[in-house]
Amino acid sequence: MSTHRPVVAVYPGSFDPVTRGHEDVARRTLRVCDRLVVAVAESSSHSKSHLFSVPERLEIMTEVFARERRIECVSFTGLLVDFAARVGARFIVRGLRAVADFEYEFQMAQMNRELRGDVETLFLVPDLGYSFLSASLVREVASLGGDVSSFVSAPVLERLQRRFS
């Protein structure tokens, strides 16, 4: 009988919309876990106006990750650490693009540890080609008619074109 307990990780975020940088972090995470829950937060620490609703973001992400059998896309309300505990996650995964990300990520990781010490935060570095990429820049460039086709996958591009046509 196998004693291996599947390693579950949660990758939380706003994902408004999911970018190729997010996809890169999610796929890298599959190297260190058995199952990845990509989780769209209904409430984000970043107070910002959203482009897509949570159900829309979820629909887009489900299409983007359709071929990844070990990735599940869900939304959650309430505290991230409580959600992570509910799905049995051992890790919370966050992408670190540059030093500028560090302070915010460090604060969240420490707060999450205070709230619940049994879930570790794991930082992964995306491909260098995505180090400048953010969902907010994608939103802005797309809204002004710029070409974002190299920054997002087809399901995202389609929704952005529909939204801004």
By CB under 6 A, name the binding residues for ligand PNS. 12-14, 41, 43-46, 79-80, 108, 111-112
Closest CB to ligand PNS among residues 13, 17: 13
Smallest distance from ligand PNS to CB 146, Å: 21
Smallest distance from ligand PNS to CB 157, Å: 20
Six token digits for residue 1: 């009988």
Tell me the residue length of the chain.
Answer: 165
Six token digits for residue 81: 């650490």
SS3 120: strand
Q: How far is CA 18 from CA 10, 114, 139, 164, in A?
A: 15, 29, 11, 17
Smallest distance from ligand PNS to CB 57, Å: 11
Nearest to 6 by CA among 97, 89, 92, 123: 89
Smallest distance from ligand PNS to CB 104, Å: 7
Six token digits for residue 92: 């919370």
Closest CB to ligand PNS among residues 4, 28: 28
Closest CB to ligand PNS among residues 23, 147: 23
Closest CB to ligand PNS among residues 44, 62: 44
